Amino acid sequence: MNYLYHKVPEDIKGNFLMPLNSLKKKYPSIYNKKVKKYEGRETLFNLKFPILNCLWNDVIHLTTVDPKKLKKALMKAGSPKRKTSKWFKIDPRILNKSITIVNLYKIRNLSNEKNYVSFQIKDLNKYDKISPRTKAYFREEFSAGRKPMLFHFIPHILYKGKINIKDCEIIKV
């Protein structure tokens, strides 16, 4: 079975992963730390997902790419030695399909409905690859001395809700 993954936040509180806008209301100090990683990309906060009819920061962004594969691709692309990180391994069956979509990252305009399909567990194996386009992007960013975005051009599973992580396995990579 394919799983979904989300990096374990160092400052997580409680038993739920929450979208940024939910964090803003419940844990404003944590929210203020989290949004710093989007400096220079603040326009994302205004991006609306057409199918879910919500903002970019109203969803939890998940991946089907095993973090071990991701780390291997980053190292091969020239990443400096990476410290060990923790990831939630999430059973996709716990998600409510009616508030979950897949961003295929087909075209650059993230507001375009053509980028999105409904969430189907049987299709998850289609999204667990790191494309040559992503690997080239990693190499480009490292060779220019920049830190790449980890999931650029990789399909995202977008969940408009909170996820109970109490019983999720945590893997170290």
What is Dmax (Cα atoms) for the chain? 41
Instruction: State the amino acid at position 104 in one-letter form.
Output: L
Instruction: Please report the pLDDT score of residue 148 as a whole number.
Output: 92
pTM metric for this prediction: 0.92
Residue 89 has a pLDDT of 98
pLDDT value, residue 47: 86
Cα(24)–Cα(32) distance, integer angstroms: 8
Q: Check: CB of residue 21 under 8 Å from CB of residue 27.
A: no
- The answer for residues whose C-beta is within 8 angstroms of residue 110's C-beta and 6 or more apart is 47, 56, 103
Query: Within 10 Å of residue 108's Cβ, how many Cβ atoms?
Result: 8
Question: Alpha-carbon distance 116 to 106, whole Å?
Answer: 9
Instruction: Please report the pLDDT score of residue 8 as a whole number.
Output: 96
Give the mean pLDDT per block of 10 residues along the chain (173 residues). Answer: 94 92 92 87 84 92 96 94 92 96 80 85 94 95 92 94 96 95
Place of tokens 């975005």: 149
DSSP 39-89: TT-GGGGG-EETTTTEEGGGSEEEB-S-HHHHHHHHHHTTPPPPPP-EEEE
Kindly list the domain boundaries of the chain, sorted by start residue. 4-172
pLDDT at 168: 96
Q: What pLDDT is recorded for position 155? A: 94
